[in-house]
Structure 1
Amino acid sequence: MERRLYVLAACALIVAAVLGSAWITGQFTSPEVDRTDGYVSELAARDQPWTRLFRVSDALSGLACALGVALVPRAAREGRGWLALAAFGLLTLASGLFPLDCATLSDPSCGRRSMSSAHYAHLVAGMLATAAVLAAMVLLSARWRSWVSWLFTWLGLAATLLVLSAHADRHGVGIAHRAQLTLFAIWLVYAALHLLVSDDVTARTTASPGDVRPHVVEQGAGPALLITAGLGGAWFHWDAVAARLAATHRVIRFDRPGLGLSPCSPDPPTLYGEAARLAALAPAHPDRVIVVAQGVACWHAEAFARLHPLRVAKLVLVDPADAGERRLFAPAASAGRWLPALGGTWGAAALARLAGPVAHRLLTGVRDPYGVYRVGKVLAAVAGEWLARRDMADDLRRMRADRPIPDVPVTVISTGARSTARQAGLLSARLVRLPESRHRVQLRNPQAIADAVSDAPDGVAGQEGRACS
């Protein structure tokens, strides 16, 4: 999938170069713009006959450039260069959205008019876009160490100086500007080809992913207790619970692939895969393990118990997700195969950095002390688990029909979901109700989980226990 991302990114950059060169046709469609002394951007001025065509071309060119950068998988020490190129794309998009009012240099009467704010916005965006693409050319050329890239970079810098000099003389601006834009377009095509043929890229995309070893944290001594977090959860969300149980148990916490500090996996998550992960982390038979799970991870814990009945001592399920009838969504499987590769792109990194900490704070009410939710792979892993829910629910329903739940104590902790009581009855579980809260139980009331682990069930199946405080 990563190789395909390189191809898509390269195609987007080539499209950006082609659309950004639409001004070539303007030499014939808009003769009012002086080819020698007029800016290329004057073709898109509001008073020109083909303004919409060239404005749309500029906007789409900038959008394609930004999209191409977003799809590029991350590489060491290239971040600033690709960030500058993305800024160039967005500024080019802005130039298309805010055109000139008139042909500034080609029309002598233009300077005597009162200009709109869009006119000045276009001028500012154009200057910043030029600075951004030159910065991208310098930074990426230094990283790639390619004489071809450096050649276009120096030629682009020289053309920019010619534009400034011609503007000062009020003559030859059009020729210099056209040469400058041509060099920028050629360099974009070169950058696209570099993504396709670079030896570093080939090494990254052909390397074997190997075994994905999850990040595991163990503390305490005694009977084994395995904690598996809910959708998008990390090991540190369970610090308070682990601290209460480590005095009497060997508490094992881990991050699923792509979450927390675990490396991402090239394969989308599955119910049987997650059950196998729990089996690998649990002590070997004849030792038994207490499993504490939350949300969708309750399905993993239940599957583990049904597949390995002799290895489970107890199940504590916190707000288990409902595995009722869910229609399978075929595109989810295809999207899930793309997500691990997408999580390693510059676009995912930017999105996670901007939205990850805010979303985590809103959903959990606590900060992210390790900065894991600022990483693109975590964002992709959360989306991958969400897309895999329907397939997991379908597999769990089939497993429930084929494999019985072992005769072990099961406690279901509920914060008000209507389906929780039905699930507790399905598993012959003791039901403990807690006050409803927008934050997860392990963060708001860790003692309730610790009590559920330590206490033996004292009622019949489906009995409502007292709320733990």
Structure 2
Amino acid sequence: MSRGGAGVRPAVVLLALGALAYTAWALEVLLHTGLDPVQTYVSELAAADQPLGGLFRATDLAAGALVLAGAGWALWRCERRAWSVAGWTGLVLFGAATVADSRLPLSCAPTVDPECAARETAGLVPATHTAHAISSSLAMTGALAAVVALTVAARRYRRWAALARYGPVLVVLELAVTVWTLTAIAAFQAGRGTWALGAGQRAQVLLVAVWLGVLAYAVARENRV
């Protein structure tokens, strides 16, 4: 059985803070990064050669660690129901992969630096580029699994009213912008431009953060995971 009361509060706080930290890329609106948010990868903000790279790597690390801790706590305390376990496990994967992502930054920004893009195509960049691509893929896979599974759990098990109500809309939007982002990445890698890659990816990560906030609110309201 799920153990409520004070037992869920750490998960609520950690997930809410993780959602907030995961939107730190929005600071680019206030800070001069030199990167176009419509065209560039979010992860290019944290590239090793960017002047504010250290800041964005730190916020990614914080976001991943907070979500990992919150989801791990929830997984430990949740009912052993398939959709719940799958969802919290996906969120653990998302948190762990985001932590890894922050420790494996790109060395340069390929969407704005032709030399960087050429070196990446030729395989002349550090191995962290490949590792970063893997960790980023794992993070988004975990996030998508969590978004879908915990939303299904909310509706099937008649819990977390806010997530049951708003989750399906967020699922549809998240899947739509994920298709957009993957299509834009494929176009960029084929040398056909960026197709507003940055806008799609920013919408993708923003929706994950919004969903995390709704999840934290829903768990807090019902006092159970």
* TM-score (ref. length: structure 1): 0.41
Name 1:167's counterpart in structure 2.
Answer: 185
Q: 1:165: how far off?
A: 2.0
2:88 is the alignment partner of 1:82: yes
Amino acid at match of 2:80: A
- Equivalent in 148, 153, 171 of residue 166 of structure 2: 148
Q: 1:80: how far off?
A: 1.2
- Equivalent in 40, 43, 65 of residue 41 of structure 1: 43
Q: 1:132: how far off?
A: 1.0
Considering Cα pairs closer than 8 Å and 6+ residues apart, tell me whether 1 or 2 has the greater RCO. Answer: 2
Matches within 5 A, 1:48-447: 48-72=50-74, 73-77=77-81, 78-113=84-119, 114-145=124-155, 146-169=164-187, 170-198=194-222, 201=224
More helix by share: 2
CA deviation map 1:384-438 (0-9, x unaligned): xxxxxxxxxxxxxxxxxxxxxxxxxxxxxxxxxxxxxxxxxxxxxxxxxxxxxxx
Give the Cα–Cα distance (whole angstroms) in 2 for the partners of residues 106 and 12 of structure 1: 35
8 A contact 1:30–1:48 mirrored in 2? no
Count of matched residue positions in the alignment of Structure 1 and Structure 2: 201
Give the Cα–Cα distance (whole angstroms) in 1 for the partners of residues 127 and 6 of structure 2: 42
Local SS of the residue matching 1:109: helix
Q: 1:30: how far off?
A: 4.1
Q: 1:2: how far off?
A: 4.2
Q: 1:167: how far off?
A: 2.4
Amino acid at match of 2:138: L
8 A contact 1:32–1:106 mirrored in 2? no
Amino acid at match of 1:96: S
CA deviation map 1:196-234 (0-9, x unaligned): 1237x3xx9xxxxxxxxxxxxxxxxxxxxxxxxxxxxxx
Give the Cα–Cα distance (whole angstroms) in 1 for the partners of residues 112 and 6 of structure 2: 45
Amino acid at match of 2:95: G
Give the RMSD, CA atoms, in angstroms.
Answer: 1.7
Report runs of 4+ in structure 1 exceeding 3 Å deviation. none
Q: 1:168: how far off?
A: 3.2
Q: 1:50: how far off?
A: 0.8
Name 1:29's counterpart in structure 2.
Answer: 31
Give the Cα–Cα distance (whole angstroms) in 2 for the partners of residues 48 and 31 of structure 1: 8
Name 1:9's counterpart in structure 2.
Answer: 11
Give the Cα–Cα distance (whole angstroms) in 2 for the partners of residues 108 and 154 of structure 1: 35
Local SS of the residue matching 1:103: coil
Question: Against the structure 1 CA distance between its residues 30 and 43, is the aligned structure 2 distance closer, same or farther, given a 3 Å change threshold?
Answer: farther
Q: 1:13: how far off?
A: 0.6
Give the Cα–Cα distance (whole angstroms) in 1 for the partners of residues 32 and 108 of structure 2: 13
Name 2:158's counterpart in structure 1.
Answer: none
Give the Cα–Cα distance (whole angstroms) in 2 for the partners of residues 24 and 138 of structure 1: 25
8 A contact 1:38–1:174 mirrored in 2? yes
8 A contact 2:71–2:91 mirrored in 1? yes
8 A contact 2:33–2:52 mirrored in 1? no
Of the two, which has the highest radius of gyration?
Answer: 1
Give the Cα–Cα distance (whole angstroms) in 2 for the partners of residues 86 and 160 of structure 1: 20
Q: 1:129: how far off?
A: 0.8
Give the Cα–Cα distance (whole angstroms) in 2 for the partners of residues 58 and 5 of structure 1: 26
Local SS of the residue matching 1:104: coil
8 A contact 1:30–1:43 mirrored in 2? no
Amino acid at match of 1:194: A
CA deviation map 1:268-305 (0-9, x unaligned): xxxxxxxxxxxxxxxxxxxxxxxxxxxxxxxxxxxxxx
Q: 1:115: how far off?
A: 1.1
Give the Cα–Cα distance (whole angstroms) in 2 for the partners of residues 81 and 31 of structure 1: 35
Give the Cα–Cα distance (whole angstroms) in 2 for the partners of residues 70 and 163 of structure 1: 28
Name 1:226's counterpart in structure 2.
Answer: none
Q: 1:69: how far off?
A: 1.1
Amino acid at match of 1:74: C
* TM-score (ref. length: structure 2): 0.84
More strand by share: 1
Give the Cα–Cα distance (whole angstroms) in 2 for the partners of residues 111 and 20 of structure 1: 26
Amino acid at match of 1:64: L
Amino acid at match of 2:131: A
Amino acid at match of 1:104: P
Identity of aligned residues (%): 32
Structure 1: which 5+ residue stretches go unaligned? 205-469
